[in-house]
A and B are shown apart, each in its own frame.
Chain A
Amino acid sequence: MGLAMRGDIRDINSGKNAGTPDSGMPRRLAAIVAGDIAGYSRLMQLDEEGTHARVKRLERELIEPTIREHHGRLIKTTGDGFIAVFDSPVEAVRCSIVIQQNMIGRNTTQAKVQWIEYRIGVNLGDVIIETDDVFGEGVNVAARLEGLADPGEVFISGGIYEQIKHKIVCGYESLGDRKVKNITDPVRVYRVLPDPSAFKRRRTQKQGLAIVSLSLVVLVLAGGVLWYLTMQTRGPVARTASTSTPNAPRTDASRNGKSTVAKATDAKIRSAPVSEPAGQQQAKTPVAPIVPPATVAPAIAPAIVPQPVAPPLREPEMVPLPGGSFAMGSNEDASERPVHQVTVKRFAIGKYPASIREWNLCAAAKACGFTATGPDDAPVGNISWSDAKQFAAWLAETTGKPYRLPTEAEWEYAARGGTQTRFWWGDQLQPGAAHCKNCTQVANNEPPNKVGGFKPNPFGLYDMGGTVDQWVEDCFHRNYQGAPTDGTAWLEDGCTSHVLRSGSWRNDARYVRPSNRDGYDTNVRYPTHGFRIALTL
């Protein structure tokens, strides 16, 4: 009270805000994840450079992307750990579980001494977040929780537990209130177990151990009594025996109880075969070469493909389309409802899906993630949405033209080619009209070896249905409830899946319909996924 008044008075006097220095840094509630590597200094002693490289790689390949995927923010990494903040406690804990589960797999390729095991603590707290650091008691508690956790485990505070207990089906084991260093109030601590049955297993194990130790006590006592009765002269010895032995199993039991999870993990990893050395994995490029199902692409292909000086760019063949209005969607699948009227502006769209030749120009310019293998005229596959975006950005930059991905509405408008029927050619499947599974009398489950192998639609566009799935700009939504009607892309920040259109050679005729739609993880590649470029006119 006194302080506030002094502040007020000073305000009046100086005419300036004399408030606390952190008035420009708003506090906010956040879920804080603190992780660190158990036995980091031991690992560093074993192999300083190797450990450093492995940890950096883990951060790049696992920690950072996983945090991003769960809508969190990596605040900082220290030598052996990291701190991240999340708006959602659920996402924070999910992210922690994903990291721990992933580490199990990674460690199986290493000898036990080489294992990198994270301990993770998650706390909900009111904190001050700066660009490269985060402050507040909430952070300290997260760090202490992490310190309490055994390697490979996630410990959460009571605050987090209350938020997530009904939302993430995991086992939660209460470890009671713990006093943590430099924090006044005790913190309620829970151990996260990967699934509820693990919790039951732990419980029964504990009960089992209790029964065993109890029967041991009884046995030892009975033995002691027998001993005493038969060899009365040596009574005192028997008495010490019967009082000291019961302690041993009891401490054992409690220690076992505490580390069951770690042990279970140990068992998993130990039983897995240890083979491929770490160095080999390092050598592998993170980008997978295109692997059409029928061919075996050598893993080293991207490395040995010659990278010639980029020839003058031949732009993709584009078809300009007039703007127009059409009924988007259908009643055939829940994802395509409700049917709604959409108006699109004029734009141009690729006559064909992007080909391997086109893609590899971008790859040669080092603007796209990998070099595709296969016939030059084949549609490029194994493309993630992010890959497709990279291509569009490169094409736009190189040509100075507004190349981009089509919006979902534009794609359907173009695919319908002015028709409102089930397929662009009518309501019935026509043999040989599109490249899809079981769409022709002849079984043809081979991947397409060229684009434009089938009849074009009324707009003169090829492969608008079948051949390859095609990414569009929009975030995936389960249906059209709330979709825009002006032909623009339906976006939101940080969406993790985007829309695929067209169906592929591996999907049946239902997927070839122009209204068919599906969603797929934004950053994941799959052999049948390609794209088609668009251009703003």
Chain B
Amino acid sequence: MTITRRRLLQVGLLTLPGVAFAKGKPAPKEALLYIVWPQDGAVIKGAFWCRFGLRNMGVTHAGDNFQNSGHHHLLIDVDEPLNPDEPIPQDKSHLHFGAGQTEARIELPPGKHTLQLVLGDADHFPFVPPVISKKITVRIK
């Protein structure tokens, strides 16, 4: 229940700007994207494996145009809102997992960092409504 509410809130925040122009594929309402590990607030020593969880949708390769499936993108320390009209950016804070990966080895400098998952469609656009995880904070020792 709390998960649903949180997601709705995020969806609301995300879709506010320019919902009319969104180009992504439709996502089922009950899709749930979440970070299996680490947990919110975790204190981690060194590099770690980040595990991606997805329910009610499937993981596929980027470029594969199957309904209700997409691929993971991990956003590290990203504060600006996602633009639904553009492919999810590709840079050092927007990591792509277009080969269908469901986990990644992450190495971050010591300090506080945020992690958030976004599911992208075949062309890397966010889904409509966006399938996005709760943003978690971890501290690297």
Contacts and interface: CB of A to CB of B under 8 A. Distances in A.
A521 B98 contact: yes
A272 B91 CA distance: 32
Contacts of A506: 86, 89-91
Please indicate which of the listed interface residues A168, A276, A524 has the most CB atoms of chain B within 10 Å of its own CB.
Answer: A524
A189 to B, nearest CB: 23
A76 B66 CA distance: 26
B63 A103 contact: no
B23 interface: yes
A521 B59 contact: no
B17 interface: no
A124 interface: no
A246 interface: no
Nearest to A99: B100
A105 B69 CA distance: 5
Contacts of A66: 100
Contacts of B59: 98, 101-102, 105
B63 A104 contact: no
A169 interface: yes
A524 B61 CA distance: 8
Interface in A3-62: 61
Given A275-B67, A293-B87, A528-B90, A195 B53 contact: yes
B63 A524 contact: yes
Interface stretch (A280-288, A351-359, A450-458): A280-288
Contacts of B61: 65, 523-524
A423 B99 CA distance: 33
B60 A105 contact: yes
Contact of B91 (A104, A105, A268, A507): A507
B24 to A, nearest CB: 12
Contacts of A61: 64
A197 B36 CA distance: 8
Contacts of B102: 94, 97-98, 101
Contacts of A523: 61, 99
B58 interface: yes
B56 interface: yes
Contacts of B85: 293
Given A273-B28, A291-B123, A521 B62 contact: yes
Counting contact residues on chain B (CB < 8 A from A), the size range is 35 or more
Nearest to B59: A101
A511 interface: yes
B65 A281 contact: yes
Nearest to A503: B91
Contacts of A105: 57-60, 66-69
Contacts of B107: 334, 478
Interface string A57-93: 0000100011001000000000000000000000000
A521 B86 contact: no
A248 interface: no
Given A105-B57, A105-B68, A521 B99 contact: yes
Given A106-B58, A169-B51, A518-B92, A524 B99 contact: yes
A98 B52 CA distance: 12
A449 interface: no
Contacts of A528: 90
Contacts of B23: 296
Report which residue of A268, A286, A291, A527 has the largest number of chain B beta carbons within 10 angstroms of its beta carbon.
Answer: A268
Given A169-B37, A196-B36, A525-B62, A268 B67 contact: no
Interface in B79-120: 85-87, 89-92, 96-100, 102-103, 107
Given A507-B91, A521-B62, A526 B99 contact: no
Contact of B90 (A98, A272, A526): A526
Given A195-B36, A506-B89, A525 B99 contact: no
A520 interface: yes
B33 to A, nearest CB: 12
A108 interface: yes
Interface in A273-307: 273, 275-276, 281, 284, 286-288, 291, 293, 296
B60 A102 contact: yes
Contact of A109 (B49, B66, B100): B66
Interface of B: 23, 28, 30, 36-37, 49, 51, 53-69, 85-87, 89-92, 96-100, 102-103, 107, 122-124
27 contacts: A101-B54, A102-B58, A102-B66, A104-B69, A105-B57, A105-B59, A105-B68, A105-B69, A106-B69, A169-B49, A197-B36, A268-B55, A271-B28, A271-B30, A273-B28, A281-B66, A286-B64, A288-B63, A288-B123, A506-B89, A523-B61, A524-B98, A525-B63, A526-B90, A526-B98, A527-B123, A528-B90
Given A272-B28, A272-B56, 6 more contacts: A102-B66, A105-B60, A276-B67, A287-B63, A506-B86, A526-B62
Q: Give the 7 A-B residue pairs with the shortest CB-CB distance, closest first.
A: A105-B58, A105-B69, A524-B98, A104-B58, A108-B68, A101-B59, A524-B62
